[in-house]
Amino acid sequence: MNEFDQHLFAMQLTQLSRSWRAELDRRLAELGLSQARWLVLLHLSRFPEPPTQRQLAQSVGVEGPTLARLLDSLEAQGLVRRQEVPNDRRAKNVMLCEQAHPLIDTIRTIADQLRCQLLAGIPPADLEHCKRVHARILANLEAL
């Protein structure tokens, strides 16, 4: 692959990611959640045990102060709560409240519908190949 094709691949990958997230954000707008808020809820729902704010910030890919503001608003909506870690007064675990679960189910349903629409007609072997390529790119990024 020549340099122009590599550049085009990188631009397409970036555009794909942005466009996919923008369409999902458009579909989730009726839920009254910003992209940042629904991302926090989804990431939080994937932890088997309540994470610390630091762990959640790393998972979402945001800085601690940014996450703290998002959690303030989600807490005010009754969707999450923070609890001090017993042996570390500075750390707080973040937990989903009961009323967040139906909302997360709705987010997942909408996201699943979009994913099915976007991946329609793509052979499974092609998707597997793309997954391997993406995994290699991510590994290269982590090595930097």
Tokens of 86: 């017993």
Q: What is the mean pLDDT of the chain?
A: 94
DSSP conformation letters of 49-115:
SPPBHHHHHHHHT--HHHHHHHHHHHHHTTSEEEEEETTEEEEEEEEE-TTHHHHHHHHHHHHHHHH
d(CA 53, CA 65): 10
* Tokens 């709705």 sit on residue: 106
- pLDDT, tens only, 35-77: 889 999 999 999 999 999 999 999 999 999 999 999 999 999 9
What is the set of domains in the chain, with CATH numbers? 16-143 (1.10.10.10)
Chain centroid to Cα 18, Å, comes to 13
Tokens of 7: 């550049």
Q: Which band of pLDDT confidence, cut at 50, 70 and 90, is reported for residue 93?
A: very high
pLDDT at 106 over 90: yes
